[in-house]
């Protein structure tokens, strides 16, 4: 398998975690989102990924895009260890936690959006950082309640083994720390993040551990 | 089942389509996102949905949030008609199309974000509309390429029966039209949208057909 990735991309980070948890080797192909005016915009990449986003996973003839779709694919094709629980209700909970990050937090703080705020709206850095923190902090606070209030939360987001939800949570917490978001009201998230980062599958997927890290 | 919904919410619209396609009856419980300072923010609702977002689906003891997680749950618990295809690669394609909307377009043009642009950033209406159109048009244009370039696209996004991808596409096209986005470069999307809107499952899920329509 080949993973088209950018070290700092949250979405690529999720897939790296999933590949590592599954013990699946892959070739790392860097796509630099800033250099060369954005390598993700070049025709040789948009042919694989018309959205011009990372990651893309190539598995034989299959070209797969969208991090959560890729992780579900990996879970279906390499079932062990499972990244989704067994029952429909539990699976829905894990997916909802993942989507609470991937649909409601991350899209508002990724690079292309921050760029639009700066370049097209000419927003001062301070207002842009406030935007960033607003969505990350309010989003993670809601997630904290979903985690803290549920008996299904264990050492990880769901039970005592990592799932799709943890693969989404850790990159988002990484981003939050990078922009000095306040995590003091989120003890459950901080605890789960630490449990994840005790596992090589997560640390080896971290941005700084990637070959294209600046 | 009870669906907490707002007639104009894209995410609730997706779930209404899925419930209709499955032929599942449900009780409609309106949550008005504007009235009363936002009914989704009241404790009686955030107890069900800590993210304070619609939709929420209650199925017996299960309280389900996040539209795509809910639709996957419905597909697992009521498999016919299937809203995801059979093979892992095809399922990944349908999920990627759905997430290309639910993660990359919709989060940037929903009500809470447009409100932040207006209230917190004091953006003039014109700049806000340009923001809206930028993300919707560029997002749908990428999706058009994913659809137009694939032999897997049929009468609908994937093959000749509606899937999760169509349940996401139609509400997004509805939004695009509402804000006068330019769809002229997206003939495949326009064709699929029309095929969907020929089915009662889609028209009966439309915003104007809901009991809380203004």
ipTM score assigned to the predicted complex: 0.97
For B180-197, what is the mean pLDDT? 97
Q: Which chain A residues are closer than 8 Å to B91 by Cβ?
A: 72-73, 76
Using the predicted structure, report yes or no on whether residue B79 has a pLDDT greater than 90: yes
Name the segment(s) of chain B with CATH classification 1.20.1050.10: 88-202
- Given a contact cutoff of 8 angstroms between Cβ atoms, the answer to whether B102 and A103 are in contact is yes
pLDDT value at position A36? Answer: 92
Cβ–Cβ under 8 Å, residues A174 and A180: no
Sign, CA torsion B54/B57/B63/B64: negative
Residues of chain B with CATH 3.40.30.10: 2-81
- SS3 assignment, position A67: helix
Pick the CATH number of A88-202 from 1.20.1050.10, 3.40.50.720, 1.10.760.10, 1.10.10.10: 1.20.1050.10
Domain A2-81 adopts which CATH fold? Glutaredoxin (3.40.30)
Helix (H, G, I), strand (E, B) or coil at A180: coil
Q: Does A91 touch chain B (CB under 8 A)?
A: yes
Residue ranges of chain A with per-residue pLDDT less than 50: none
Q: How much is the pLDDT for A57? A: 98
Query: How many angstroms separate the CA of residue A172 from the nearest CA in chain B?
Result: 14
Q: Per the structure block, which two tokens stand in for A150?
A: 């549920």
Helix (H) or strand (E) holding A154: none
Residues of A in contact with B70 (CB under 8 A): 92
Cα B105 to Cα B142: distance, rounded to the nearest angstrom: 11
Would you call A99 and B70 a contact, using CB atoms and an 8 Å cutoff? Answer: no
- Set of chain B residues whose Cβ sits within 8 Å of the Cβ of A53: 104
Q: How far is residue B16's CA from residue A170's CA, in Å, rounded to a whole number?
A: 32
Q: Is A158 on the interface with B (CB under 8 A)?
A: no
Mean pLDDT, residues B5-24: 98
Confidence of residue B214 (pLDDT cuts 50, 70, 90): confident
Contacts of A5 (CB under 8 A, 6+ apart): A12, A15, A16, A28, A29, A30, A31, A54, A55, A210, A212
Q: What are phi and psi of B21, to 5 degrees?
A: -60, -35
- The pTM assigned to this predicted structure is 0.98
Number of H helices, E strands in chain A: 10, 4
Reply yes or no on whether the pLDDT at B185 is more than 90: yes
pLDDT recorded at residue A214: 75
Burial class of A35 by CB neighbour count within 10 A (0 to 12, 13 to 18, 19+): exposed
Residues of B in contact with A89 (CB under 8 A): 62, 64, 73
> pLDDT category, B31, cuts 50, 70, 90?
very high
Asked if the Cβ–Cβ distance from A51 to B104 is below 8 Å, we say: yes
Residue carrying the six token digits 């209700």: A89
> Is B63's pLDDT higher than 80?
yes
Instruction: Give residue-wise pLDDT tens across range B82-134.
Output: 999 999 999 999 999 999 999 999 999 988 999 999 999 999 999 999 999 99
pLDDT in tens, B122-175: 999 999 999 999 999 999 999 999 999 999 999 999 999 999 999 999 999 999
pLDDT of residue A176: 96
Q: Residues of B numbered 28-87 whose beta carbons fall under 8 angstroms of chain A's beta carbons: which are they?
A: 50-53, 62, 64-66, 68-70, 72-73, 76-77
| Burial annotation A96-134 (CB, 10 A radius, 16+ → b, else e) | bbbbbbbbbbbbbbbbbbbebbeeebebeeebbeebbbe
């Amino acid at each position: 398998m080949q993973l088209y990735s950018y070290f700092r991309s949250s979405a690529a980070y999720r897939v790296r975690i999933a590949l590592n948890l599954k013990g699946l080797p892959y070739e790392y192909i860097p796509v630099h989102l800033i250099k060369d005016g954005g390598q993700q915009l070049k025709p040789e990449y948009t042919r694989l990924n018309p959205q011009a986003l990372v990651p893309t996973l190539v598995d034989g003839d299959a070209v797969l895009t969208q991090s959560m779709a890729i992780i579900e694919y990996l879970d279906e094709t390499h079932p062990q260890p499972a990244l989704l629980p067994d029952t429909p209700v539990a699976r829905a909970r894990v997916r909802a936690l993942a989507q609470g990050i991937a649909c409601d937090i991350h899209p508002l703080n990724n690079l292309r959006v921050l760029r639009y705020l700066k370049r097209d709206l000419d927003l001062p850095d301070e207002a842009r950082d406030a935007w960033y923190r607003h969505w990350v902090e309010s989003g993670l606070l809601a997630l904290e309640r979903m985690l803290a209030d549920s008996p299904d939360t264990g050492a990880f987001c769901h039970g005592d083994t990592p799932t799709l939800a943890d693969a989404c949570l850790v990159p988002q917490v990484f981003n939050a720390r990078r922009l000095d978001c306040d995590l003091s009201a989120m003890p459950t998230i901080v605890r789960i993040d630490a449990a994840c980062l005790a596992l090589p599958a997560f640390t080896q997927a971290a941005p700084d551990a990637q070959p294209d890290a600046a």
